[in-house]
């Protein structure tokens, strides 16, 4: 009998041999109700797309409200998907607003949590993030409960932001107030997380053996952790709890059917930043297309990233430029970068809108949030944040408007989002007590 080969010794790049397989995901059929009036289902997927250092809002905010919003310089690339995207302005993230420095870290920690992060080097605390709440609700229906992706692992030295642990700057996804969901920055590893270990050449019997083998091993180590944890008195079990949760999630994945859909090529190592972003975008499209997960977060860069955008003809680091002090060249540079970031988001939205599923598209069952940890980077403002909400037509919601709020908490948008995602909630974060009224 053949042994369990695990994931290495696996040199074939083409992960699924043979002809393309039609996407047939039973769960989604229940979503395809023609009226689309009152669809509430956890079949909806959520994607958070984070860009660092804010946005130059004067070039962002459309002049008119309502549907048919005019394309401002920063939003121009959304023209062909405009009717699938809401521009929501005036939102603020008060919990992330500090009296002293640390705005990038606090803004990033509060990005999907709407909570105030504790200013500390090690005993981190903020809140559970919106994507992780959705992951917990959908985990039994998807192969992977969530996918946290990024580009920058993080610099290797020094402090990150005025006494805030680097954990806050490098994560937007928090499975609980103390535990960031560490992101994957290598597209090959992300691919393997979704599809690795799946050998199309294996027979059903072989697959069962492998499954049984993994199950035995995972059971053994879970027992060891449980008994270790059981030995503890009142001590801190946090680390071992995290271990047990993680192992249980793996056990669940062992039992689950790996995602199968179409041909998927394992990516190569990224050649440069632009390639890296494109590869990660492809991973997101693949994961959604195959319904491998319904909770994805993506950080285009870490908080306060000082990336050089020379390939756009821009001189200077992004964070440095965001402290423009009114300098017109710096502002122009920021706009160039901002427009490029929106274009990357537009590209993801467009790709999803092109994948047909039943009567609609993958975009119809996916809600995508685009935003940043700040609005004006120069003043470290958490008011009038740059926010886009795309997709989700299957919920029956109105899409394609400029909604101007007057300082509403962004956590209210998160309440609305969770409701569209099928959650029965009316509160979220520190200040979200209702869904966003204008939506």
Partner 1 sequence: MRVSSTMMRSAVLVTCLVAGCQDGVTAPEHAEMNVAADVVAHRLNRAEYDNTVRDLLGTALRPAVDFPADERGHGFDNMVELLSMSPERAALYERAASELARDVVSDPKRRSTVLPCDSDDEESCARQGLEHFLPRAWRRPVTQQEVDSMVDLYGHLRTGGDDSDEAMQGVVGAALLSPHFLFRIEHAPAEDTDQPQPLSDWELASRLSYFLWSSMPDDELFALADGGTLDDPDVLREQVDRMLEDEKAQALVDDFAGQWWHIRGLQDVFKDVTKYPRFDDDLRDSMRIEMESFFSDLIAQDADLRDLLLGSRTTVDRPMLELYGVASSHFGGTRELDLSSLPRTGMLTMPGLMTVLSRPFRTAPVKRGQFVMSQLLCAPLPPPPDGVEGLTDIEPGETFREMLERHRQDPSCAGCHATLDPLGLAFEHYNGIGAWRATDDGVEIDASGTLPDGRSFSDAVELGNLLSEDPRFVECVVRQTMTYALGRGLQDEDEAHVRSAIDQLVAAGYRTRALFSVVATSVPFRHHQPLEAP
Of the pair 236, 424, the CB lying nearest partner 1 is at: 236
The Cα–Cα gap between 235 and 437 comes to 45
18 binds partner 1 (CB under 8 A): no
CA atoms of 219 and 247, how far apart (whole Å) = 9
Applying CB under 8 A, which of residues 43, 113, 175, 395 lies at the interface with partner 1? 175
Q: Is 311 in the site for partner 1 (CB under 8 A)?
A: no
Q: By CB under 8 A, is residue 101 in contact with partner 1?
A: yes
Among 42, 136, 182, 336, binds partner 1 (CB under 8 A): 182
If one asks whether residue 382 binds partner 1 (CB under 8 A), the answer comes out as no
DSSP per-residue string spanning 392-433: -GGGT---SEEEE-SS-BHHHHHHHHHHHTT---S-BTTTB-
From 187-195, 360-368, 402-410, 419-427, span contacting partner 1 (CB under 8 A): 187-195
Binding flag, residue 106, partner 1 (CB under 8 A): no
Half-sphere exposure of 13 (CA within 13 A, CB side): 6
Query: Which of residues 85, 106, 144, 290 is near partner 1 by CB under 8 A?
Result: 144
Which part of the chain contacts partner 1 (CB under 8 A), choosing from 27-35, 86-94, 122-130, 280-288?
Answer: 122-130
Q: Which is nearer to partner 1, 237 or 397 (CB)?
A: 237
Count interface residues toward partner 1 (CB under 8 A).
Answer: 93
The nearest distance, CB 311 to partner 1, in angstroms, is 13
The answer to the question of residue 401 lying near partner 1 (CB under 8 A) is no
Which of 56, 170, 365, 401 forms a contact with partner 1 (CB under 8 A)?
170
145 is a site residue for partner 1 (CB under 8 A): yes
Rule CB under 8 A: choose which of 29, 70, 80, 155 binds partner 1.
155
CA atoms within 13 A on the CB side of 265: 5
- 255 near partner 1 (CB under 8 A): no
Q: Candidates 141, 186, 275, 431: give the one binding partner 1 (CB under 8 A).
A: 186
Compute the Cα dihedral for 45, 43, 389, 101 and give only its sign: negative
| 336 binds partner 1, rule: CB under 8 A | no
What are the backbone dihedrals phi and psi of residue 147, each rounded to the nearest 5 degrees, phi first?
-135, 115
Site for partner 1 in 209-238 (CB under 8 A): 209, 212-214, 216-218, 220-221, 223-225, 228, 231-237
Q: DSSP 3-state assignment of 357?
A: strand
- Relative to beta strand 66-67, strand 179-180 is unpaired
Q: Do 293 and 143 form a contact (C-beta atoms < 8 A)?
A: yes
Contact in structure between 126 and 171 (CB atoms under 8 Å): no
Stretch that binds partner 1, among 48-56, 263-271, 317-325, 416-424 (CB under 8 A): 317-325
The DSSP 8-state label assigned to residue 3 in this structure reads P
Q: Are 69 and 398 in contact (CB under 8 A)?
A: no
Return the number of other C-beta atoms located less than 10 Å from residue 271's C-beta: 10
Neighbouring-strand partners of residue 372? 51
* Cβ 182 to partner 1 shortest distance, Å: 4
Q: Which residues pair with 409 in a beta bridge?
A: 92
Question: According to CB under 8 A, which one of 253, 276, 401, 404 is a site residue for partner 1?
Answer: 253
Site string for partner 1, 349-378 (x = CB under 8 A): -----------------------------x
Q: Check if the beta carbon of residue 90 is closer than 8 Å to that of residue 423.
A: no
* Number of C-beta neighbours around residue 370 at 10 A: 27
200 binds partner 1 (CB under 8 A): no
């Amino acid at each position: 009998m053949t042994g369990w080969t695990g994931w290495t010794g696996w040199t074939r790049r083409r992960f699924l041999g043979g002809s393309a397989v039609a996407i047939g995901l039973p769960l989604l059929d229940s979503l395809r109700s023609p009226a689309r009036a009152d669809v509430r289902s956890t079949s909806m997927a959520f994607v958070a797309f984070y860009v660092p250092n804010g946005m130059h809002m004067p070039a962002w905010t459309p002049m008119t409200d309502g549907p048919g919003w005019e394309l401002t310089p920063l939003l121009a690339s959304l023209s062909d998907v405009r009717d699938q995207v809401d521009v929501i302005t005036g939102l603020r993230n008060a919990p992330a607003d500090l009296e002293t420095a640390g705005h990038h870290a606090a803004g990033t920690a509060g990005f999907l949590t709407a909570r105030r992060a504790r200013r500390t080097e090690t005993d981190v605390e903020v809140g559970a993030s919106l994507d992780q709440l959705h992951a917990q609700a959908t985990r039994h229906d998807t192969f992977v409960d969530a996918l946290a992706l990024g580009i920058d692992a993080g610099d290797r030295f020094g402090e990150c932001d005025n006494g805030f642990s680097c954990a806050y700057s490098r994560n937007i996804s928090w499975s609980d107030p103390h535990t960031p969901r560490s992101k994957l920055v290598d597209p090959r590893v992300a691919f393997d997380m979704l599809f690795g270990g799946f050998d199309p050449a294996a027979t059903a019997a072989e697959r069962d053996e492998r499954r049984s083998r993994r199950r035995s091993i995972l059971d053994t180590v879970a027992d060891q952790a449980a008994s270790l944890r059981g030995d503890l008195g009142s001590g801190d079990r946090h680390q071992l709890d995290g271990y047990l949760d993680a192992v249980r999630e793996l056990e669940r994945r062992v039992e689950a059917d790996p995602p199968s859909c179409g041909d998927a090529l394992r990516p190569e190592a990224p050649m440069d930043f632009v390639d890296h972003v494109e590869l990660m975008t492809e991973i997101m499209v693949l994961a959604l297309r195959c319904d491998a997960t319904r909770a994805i977060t993506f950080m285009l860069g870490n908080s306060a990233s000082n990336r050089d955008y020379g390939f756009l003809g821009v001189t200077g680091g992004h964070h440095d430029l965001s402290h423009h002090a009114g300098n017109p060249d710096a502002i122009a540079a920021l706009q160039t970068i901002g427009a490029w970031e929106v274009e990357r988001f537009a590209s993801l939205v467009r790709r999803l809108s092109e994948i047909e599923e039943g009567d609609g598209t993958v975009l119809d069952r996916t809600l995508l949030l685009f935003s940043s940890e700040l609005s004006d980077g120069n003043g470290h403002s958490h008011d009038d944040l740059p926010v886009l909400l795309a997709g989700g037509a299957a919920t029956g919601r109105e899409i394609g408007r400029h909604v101007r709020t007057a300082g509403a908490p962004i956590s209210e948008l998160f309440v609305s989002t969770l409701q569209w995602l099928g959650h029965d909630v009316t509160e979220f974060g520190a200040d979200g007590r209702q869904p966003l009224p204008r939506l």
